[in-house]
Amino acid sequence: MAAETSATIDFNLPSLGSDMEAGTVIEWLVAVGDIVHKGDVLVRVDTEKADIDVETWQDGAIVEIVAEPGETLAVGSTLARLASNGSISTTPPTDSVATPRQDQEPALTSEAIKDPFAALILDDEENMRAASSAKRSKAPDGPTARPLNMAAIDTAVSPRMVYWPSPAAGPAIAAGRAGQGVSATDGESPPITPSDRSLSRSERRQRKLAEVMARSNRDIPHFYLSRQIDLTLALTRLSAHNENAEPSARVLPAALLLHAVATAAQGSVVNGQFDDEPVDSDHVHLGVAVNLRGGGLATPVIPASETLDLSDLMTTLKAMVARAKAGRMTSRDMTPATMTVTNLGDTGVDRVFGVIRPPERALVGFGAIVERPTVVDGVCVPRSIVDVTLAADHRVVNGHAASLFLSAVAALLEDDTGSTALEINSHLEGDT
């Protein structure tokens, strides 16, 4: 019978970045009865950082809109309900995974822990199931599952929690951070501490950034490395490509640098997250610092950046930066990053020593590409040089591994047979 083969899926407010606690519904782009597909934008949500277009990760039909425009909800709260057909396994309440597992702290399955990011970006039903059953298994505990103290608050924003926190965790965190001492054990969700609505978006964003950066400097023992990279060969090739290409097909040096970072980061210890313990990722979800006119900073993320070739990376980057500057990002842009790159080359600085964005382990910085006198084969010649820097978390990364990572970035960009060079070559071949 149809009633039994269809199941209802909760469409919840995802955590759009590790520092997000709540969001306010701006408008629904769908209505009850609409058929939606994975990747469709269902709702626009106001967060401290930007208006986010939140996508669904499930196919189905909208059966109920739970959160009305204007409502502020904690991360993990239900926004709407979808009816799926029977082919999508949404675990019924009687299923064994619904049993609360209090001994497993953030109750995710091992697959989800192995790569908690996969569910957000891959076409992978298994991961979606792992995610939703884990979330469901927490639900019966309610807010009493963890004591509200500073340790619990810190744990609550660990990478595992970022994705599927219990519905009560969000307001508890918000209240705790705001120092209002709201008890989360009274069985009722405390009201969400409103992000001060009297502040402008940019003021709220800056306040949020300040909080995260202060936490980073307090908790993360940073160390810094710097390395010079000779881009002469890569830029010569890139210019040759761009000179013949229409503007829409041109590739910026910034994309070249990101491509090399993404390739080198895969499998390196500098990629991933670290809060109470390391959380590795098979993918490089690359945060990109984007300067907003008027002084703001956004860091949208390129999910699985290491899987993109140079041309796709450029296309993705261009669209993503445009969204960030317009203050309207998608939930995909808010995939929790495993590493962030800041490129201040346009401003003419030589080097940037950045502050790691927790729970990431490292931040890569690029300065301006400049002609510098360089010794090549015993002769001093002008070469196009960029300084790459790495700020790394000494709790999980050591100097040797960090320097190997920077060497790998350099090799990809300098070496004639490096994969980035090969990417450029394939572009050149495509031109002819």
Partner 1 sequence: MTIDTARPFQLILDAICQVAPDIEPSDVTDLDRNDLIRDALELDSMDQLNIAEAIHERCGLNIAESDYYHMDTLASFEDYLREHLGD
Site for partner 1 (CB under 8 A): which residue of 101, 177, 222, 250? 250
Taking the least distance from each CB to partner 1, the nearer of 112 and 251 is 251
193 binds partner 1 (CB under 8 A): no
Window of 112-120, 223-231, 245-253, 390-398 that interacts with partner 1 by CB under 8 A? 245-253
346 binds partner 1 (CB under 8 A): yes
Contact criterion met (CB below 8 Å) for 396 and 221: no
Taking the least distance from each CB to partner 1, the nearer of 182 and 235 is 235
| Nearest partner of 340 among 393, 420, 284, 387, judged by Cα | 284
- Cα angle 388, 389, 393 (rounded to 5 degrees) comes to 145
N-terminal to C-terminal alpha carbon distance within the chain: 60
| Number of Cβ within a 10 Å radius of residue 330 | 20
293 binds partner 1 (CB under 8 A): yes
Site for partner 1 (CB under 8 A): which residue of 291, 307, 311, 315? 291
Taking the least distance from each CB to partner 1, the nearer of 157 and 324 is 324
Cα separation, 116 vs 136, whole angstroms: 16
32 binds partner 1 (CB under 8 A): no
Taking the least distance from each CB to partner 1, the nearer of 170 and 365 is 365
Taking the least distance from each CB to partner 1, the nearer of 293 and 400 is 293
248 binds partner 1 (CB under 8 A): yes
Residue 297's DSSP bridge partners are: 291
Window of 90-98, 201-209, 251-259, 350-358 that interacts with partner 1 by CB under 8 A? 251-259
321 binds partner 1 (CB under 8 A): yes
CB of 246 to partner 1, least distance (A): 6
The site map against partner 1 for 126-145 (x = CB under 8 A) is --------------------
| Number of Cβ within a 10 Å radius of residue 303 | 23
322 binds partner 1 (CB under 8 A): yes
Here the tokens at position 216 are 């980073």
Beta strands 60-65 and 35-36, pairing class: antiparallel
Binding to partner 1 in span 412-431, by CB under 8 A: none
CB of 128 to partner 1, least distance (A): 34
Site for partner 1 (CB under 8 A): which residue of 33, 92, 147, 247? 247
348 binds partner 1 (CB under 8 A): no
CB of 318 to partner 1, least distance (A): 7
| Nearest partner of 184 among 197, 174, 199, judged by Cα | 174
CB of 87 to partner 1, least distance (A): 42
Window of 47-55, 204-212, 325-333, 384-392 that interacts with partner 1 by CB under 8 A? 325-333
Window of 56-64, 96-104, 227-235, 316-324 that interacts with partner 1 by CB under 8 A? 316-324
Q: Which residue has the tokens 């701006």?
A: 26
Window of 226-234, 290-298, 357-365, 380-388 that interacts with partner 1 by CB under 8 A? 290-298
Q: Is 294 left (phi over 0), alpha (psi -120 to 50) or beta?
A: left
Footprint on this chain of partner 1 (rule: CB under 8 A): 239, 242-243, 246-248, 250, 252-254, 291, 293-294, 317-318, 321-322, 325-327, 345-346
